[in-house]
A and B are shown apart, each in its own frame.
Chain A
Amino acid sequence: MEIKIISFGQIAEITGKELMLEATDLDSLKLHLVQKFPELSDKKFAFAVNKKLVNANVNLNQNNVVALMPPYSGG
């Protein structure tokens, strides 16, 4: 199914702010992301599914929104 992805900061400069990708779980989504945007492989960012930080693999459903959140350090 198609999953909505929203990106922030430096990651959005690579992927654009929003995109849709086919995936059934977070691991397959990560794989598709890196295939589509090889630059992401050496970038640091966290995943949030429906606004909750996720570390392990989780199944994704039709209405899930996955956020790609990089660390900011400026001050």
Chain B
Amino acid sequence: MENYNERYARHYALSGFGFEGQQKLLQAKVLVIGAGGLGCPVLQYLAAAGIGTMGIVDHDYISLSNLQRQTLYSTEDIGKMKVEVASCKLQNLNPEIKIETHQVELNSKNAWEIISEYDIVVDCTDNFAARYLINDACVLLGKPLIFGAIFKYEGQVAVFNSGLKDENKTNYRHLFPNPPKPEEVQNCNEVGVLGVLPGMIGTMQANEVIKLITGIGEILDGKLLTFSMLNYESFIMEISNENVTENLIPRSREAFEATDYNFLCGISMNNVEDLNPDNFAEKISDKDTITIDVREVDELPKADFVHIQIPLSELNERLSDIKEEQIILFCQSGKRSLKAAEILMEHFGNDKKISHLKGGITALQKRKNEQSN
């Protein structure tokens, strides 16, 4: 057999898959967005299977708390960039495939260019802003999207925009037309996750990619699978495209690039600056600046820098306590500080400069841990 490769012997031997199936994988270009809990198993299985070209998008560092579920990384990798370590380990696993790294935070300005280079997109992100951004980009660019998400002991998998049934294309907005606001859902940092769950859901996503490329089996085309790791029950529902999504999705590349998905998801606000941990550490010592912890009294960890505490629940009554020009807000995860910013904006308008610590004290601690490693 020409091009016989011992590496894929078990694929060749598999009836219904064979040499032809392998050739299709080798010709495919798959983009995996997010190299975390879901991304690790997706990347590992797709690289091992011989997807010819794989792209990885991620902008995060490896931290100690990742290792419980992100199985591509080792303790010695803490503090390094995920894309770099992932690419190195995957290339060792399979030197015969091409791995392209995109060390950026995907946003509406860079998504078009990156996604258009690939045939299939796998959403392994962990927030709604990214999920709606990826969904809309895939609709506009006509790219099949393998969706995966987790909550506590359950996960969801779906295939959108597959192109297999042309007249009946579905996307995530048919299911949930508009992104939820932060207070309508909990995020993973707050609720925790057992390491094997993203392993299971990510492996299902990788399976859908392989099935879509090779045409074997039945993919979750326009269907949402919800799976419980506690009892192995699964629930598959059909997504109809009755909901009209045309008005919700930007109509052109220009309109897409002008859309602020963080704003749509309530993760950022006009006129309120998002501070990353490094900016935050610098800014809190600025002149005429007050730093306010809006968490309730007794929440841990305590902040070890100069600040005052006004719990969000008391903020409305204590607005007159704030005399400074610049106000920096923080809480545990960045949600309540944004809510507080909203209240302050209503009261002070643009008279004061308001910013908040994106990702909260959790992000700050994570950054500190990275630096000490």
Which A residues form the contact surface with B (CB < 8 A)? 6, 8-10, 42-44, 46, 48, 51-56, 67, 69-75
How long is the Cα–Cα vector from A46 to B239 in the complex, in angstroms?
Answer: 10
The size class of the interface chain B forms with chain A is: 35 or more
CB contacts under 8 Å to A, within B167-210, are 174-176, 180, 183-188, 191, 193, 198
30 contacts between A and B (CB under 8 A): A8-B226, A9-B154, A9-B226, A10-B151, A51-B235, A52-B237, A52-B238, A52-B240, A53-B175, A53-B237, A53-B240, A53-B242, A55-B240, A55-B242, A67-B237, A70-B151, A71-B128, A71-B149, A71-B176, A72-B155, A73-B127, A73-B131, A74-B149, A74-B187, A74-B198, A75-B36, A75-B38, A75-B124, A75-B148, A75-B149
The CA of A72 and the CA of B37, in the complex, are separated in Å by 14
Label chain B's interface by main secondary structure: mixed
- Checking B149, B176, B186 against A10 with a beta-carbon cut-off of 8 angstroms, the contacting residue is B186
CB contacts under 8 Å to A, within B216-241, are 224, 226, 235-240
A75 to B193, CA, bound (A): 9
| Neighbouring B residues of A70 by C-beta, 8 Å | 151, 185
> Whole-angstrom distance between the alpha carbons of A42 and B224 in the complex?
23
Nearest residue (CB) in A for B202 is A75
Question: In the bound complex, do residue A9 and residue B151 qualify as a contact, i.e. CB atoms below 8 Å apart?
Answer: yes
B34 within 8 A of A: yes
Chain B residues with CB under 8 A of A75:
34, 36-39, 123-126, 148-150, 188, 198
- Inside 8 A of A42's CB, which chain B residues have their CB? 183-184
A10 to B224, CA, bound (A): 17
Q: How far is the CB of B127 from chain A (nearest CB, A)?
A: 6
Greatest chain B CB density within 10 A among A6, A55, A56 is at A55
Count of A-B residue pairs with CB < 8 Å: 94
Q: Judge whether A71 and B193 touch: CB under 8 Å.
A: no
Contact B180 A44 (CB under 8 A): yes
New A-B pairs, 5, CB < 8 Å, besides A9-B152, A10-B186? A6-B235, A42-B184, A48-B237, A54-B240, A73-B131
- Partner of A74 from the list B150, B174, B224, B243 (CB cut-off 8 Å) is B150
Measured between alpha carbons, how far is A6 from B226 in the docked complex, in Å? Answer: 12
Q: Check B333 for interface membership: any CB of A closer than 8 A.
A: no
Q: Roughly how many angstroms separate A48 CA and B242 CA in the complex, as a whole number?
A: 13
B366 to chain A, nearest CB (A): 16
Task: A75 to B125: give the CA distance in the assembly, Å.
Answer: 5
What distance in Å separates the Cβ of B122 from its nearest Cβ neighbour in chain A?
11
Report the bound CA distance from A8 to B226 in whole Å: 8
- Interface centre among A51, A53, A54, by most chain B C-beta atoms within 10 angstroms, is A53
CB nearest neighbor in A for B183: A42
Task: Indicate if the CB atoms of B238 and A53 lie closer than 8 Å.
Answer: yes
Q: Which chain B residue shows the least CB distance to A9?
A: B151
Nearest Cβ on chain A to B199's Cβ, whole angstroms = 12
Q: Is B156 an interface residue (CB 8 A)?
A: yes
In the bound complex, residues from chain A placing their C-beta under 8 Å from that of B238 are 48, 51-53
Q: Is the CB of A74 within 8 A of B175?
A: no
Q: How far is the CA of A9 from the CA of B227 in the complex (A)?
A: 10
